[in-house]
Structure 1
């Protein structure tokens, strides 16, 4: 059996991945929002990865990986996740008729857990954090001999996710900058692979929660670090940077924005106000990051990525009940 983790990560592999991805998915919309452009003093477009069947960009990488696993006759797949990656693996496994097991931390987003179970995958709740869930996976891999689909250190995942940025450049060849949430890092790495290959001058900004800032701290120090992981926003709730994506993005980011928990909730509310989308915390974080980067972005053509829409009802309710938003604060 050839090792899927030995696959190169490159623009040419992303082009190959597109053939697989488009067997199951359609390109997502890239929409210009004049109200956001007026607010920020830049030409703002939103890439709606929240419109995928699973509600997140992760499905691009999941289906690319699972098709390759099916081709090499893997018996089954297992992973750990805060939700979106696990749903991606579970749904992709269902599409290619493969068994899947997903381990999530205890008290994970109930909407994401329900979606994972609806695919027919086995859902296991274990540990309080992303990293604690990973330890259970290690035990089950040894016990059952399943293929471990790592949330970040997986070339076929990154190549699949990279198809998003090929779409963006086809729609906006004169792109100046993009803002992306960064958790495990597969998406930011994929952006670097495609965007910097085509135009090295494109600026790539990452955003993360202050309460789960391992990737930021690692980027700042130039080495992989761990950190506390307590943000409510599961899309970037990781306590460590990961080797494969970090090696790609560590020298290619223009800047990094860190948001408080209240700012992440504000992003959810503002995304609803300006775009009429119910976006989860990590997805809406790009809008809040753009507000903080307003001076750097002025006059530029900028893509904000809405990475996912799998917020819990409680998170949406809390965002819309923020005193500042109730009092008419809109950016």
Structure 2
């Protein structure tokens, strides 16, 4: 189909999806952030899809697609997903009285599996990657005469996601830049199509992780590019290649595509939690990562990063926060060798207390074969107001005859 006809059809579907979904999903908040605005010298408004039902935007496309299937008499569906699409399909199936079977990779975190099961879906664990799960889901769909619900390469799915673009325009009609997390391209295809119809001069920019750049490469090379090695904390957008339909639409309505690395994603998650008081999964923080890192210059512009989801593994969140605290200089480690005698460690702890610092961990190692007998290697993890406090502490310890350094 010609691209112009494809876009016309998608716009019609977006209008229909808006009516279908208005009493089903949340019109999520568009929240101004003073902190992010000050950091970027722009006007930053966050589209908080992490507050959507099931914790992510995916329910929009899934429900719109599946209600059309239900109206045509379909009773059961199959999907492949490692997270948000699974929950969107499972929720929609429960709402529409349909049977849902979701194939997830074997190593999917238990909390995602349990969340999907909680909506009444049957979960099949298969393979090590999404691609393995995808192939298995196609087999099950054929064997059970069920409909397969694709996570992104489907006009109905894109239309459901496109209702986000309509909401952004309704809440901020003079929006200038919208930043959208990108995996296979379904979300940005829908949002960009809707926005370009309502405000043609608004810029829509996609953001992918550097460790999974298939859609970025495909967009810039204007052909489907498949990447075989993918790795990122933003597991919600890891794909090996985009859809042919999504790429065709993105080439027409998306203005640019950029990459951010995992450190930038982690810092964005940290800022969102600490300063905006909102939890974003790594994929959901991609747009914020692009603006705070300077990858996209939004100074002086009304900008909307779409926070696409908040379904983050708690253990991953703890690791991310811990690493960022060290990178930002809010936590430090100091290390030194002490005589293994009573009272030596107390001297160090007393020095820490005098500076008003808080100890978060102590490692006291005696059995390291590299140590001189009778000595102990001591490592302290500390909460500090800034890195300078660690230097002051190390100097104070040296004056006491204790040789420590920041590690």
TM-score between both structures, scaled by the size of structure 1: 0.93
Seen in structure 2, the aligned counterparts of structure 1 residues 184 and 280 have a Cα distance that, compared at 3 Å, is same
Taking a change above 3 Å as real, the CA distance of residues 294 and 233 of structure 1, as seen in their structure-2 partners, is closer
Are 1:53 and 2:53 counterparts?
yes
Matches within 5 A, 1:1-331: 9-227=9-227, 228-293=229-294, 296-322=297-323, 323-325=326-328, 327=330
Query: Which stretch of the first structure deviates more once superposed, 161-170 or 224-233?
Result: 224-233
Unaligned runs of 5+ in 1: 1-5
Distance of aligned partners of 1:95 and 1:82 in 2 relative to their CA distance in 1, 3 Å threshold: same
Pair 1:324–1:105, CA change in 2 (3 A): same
Aligned-pair CA distance for 1:96:
0.4
Q: Structure 1 residue 326: deviation in Å?
A: 5.1
Instruction: Considering Cα pairs closer than 8 Å and 6+ residues apart, tell me whether 1 or 2 has the greater RCO.
Output: 1
Offset at 1:10? 2.4
Unaligned runs of 5+ in 2: 1-5, 331-384, 387-407
Computed over aligned residues only, the root mean square deviation of the Cα atoms, in angstroms, reads: 1.8
Displacement of 1:108 after TM fit?
1.7
The structural deviation recorded for 1:182 is 0.1
Structure 1 position 195, deviation (Å): 0.9
Instruction: After TM superposition, give the deviation of residue 230 of structure 1 in Å.
Output: 2.2
CA contact 1:7–1:155 (8 Å) conserved in 2: no
- Give yes or no for contact 2:26–2:53 (8 Å, CA) kept in 1: no
Do 1:78 and 1:146's aligned partners in 2 also have CA atoms closer than 8 Å?
A: yes
Secondary structure in 1 matching 2:211: helix
Deviation, structure 1 residue 155? 1.5
Residues in 2 aligned to 1:187 and 1:218: alpha-carbon distance in whole angstroms: 16
Change (3 A) 1:312 1:244: same
**TM-score by structure 2 length?**
0.76
Contact 2:105/2:125 (<8 A) preserved: yes
Structure that is richer in strand per residue: 2
* Offset at residue 295 of structure 1 (A): 6.5
Equivalent pair of 2:32/2:45 in contact (CA under 8 Å)? yes
2:290–2:296: 8 Å Cα contact kept in structure 1? Answer: no
Distance in structure 1 (CA, Å) of the matches to 2:52 and 2:125: 25
Is residue 141–residue 147 contact of structure 1 (8 Å, CA) maintained in 2?
A: yes
Instruction: Give the Cα separation in 2 of the matches to 1:171 and 1:298.
Output: 21
CA drift of 1:38 comes to 0.8
8 Å CA contact 2:49, 2:307 repeated in 1: yes
SS of the aligned residue for 1:256 comes to strand
Q: Deviations over 1:45-102 (max 9, x none)?
A: 0001010120001111111111111100113000111210111011000000000011
In 1, Cα distance between equivalents of 2:293 and 2:315: 26
Task: Quote how far apart the aligned CAs of 1:11 are.
Answer: 2.3
CA contact (8 A) 1:82 1:237 kept: no
Rounded to whole Å, the distance in 2 between the matches of 1:244 and 1:88 is: 21
What is the Cα deviation at residue 293 of structure 1?
3.7
- Whole-angstrom distance in 2 between the partners of 1:293 and 1:263: 10
Check whether the contact 2:10–2:155 (CA below 8 A) recurs between aligned residues: no
User: Cα deviations across residues 146-197 of structure 1 (Å, max 9, x unaligned)?
Assistant: 1001111221111111111111101111110011100011110011211111
DSSP-derived class of the 1:208 partner: strand
User: Whole-Å Cα distance in 2 between the matches of residues 152 and 251 of structure 1?
Assistant: 17
Quote the offset at 1:310 in angstroms.
0.3
Deviation at 1:23, TM superposition (A): 2.5
Point out the structure with max Rg over C-alpha: 2
Name the CA distance, whole Å, in 2 between partners of 1:15 and 1:253.
Answer: 20
Deviation at 1:276, TM superposition (A): 0.7
- Judge conservation of contact 1:129–1:229 (CA < 8 Å) in 2: no
Distance 2:12 2:242 in 1: 25
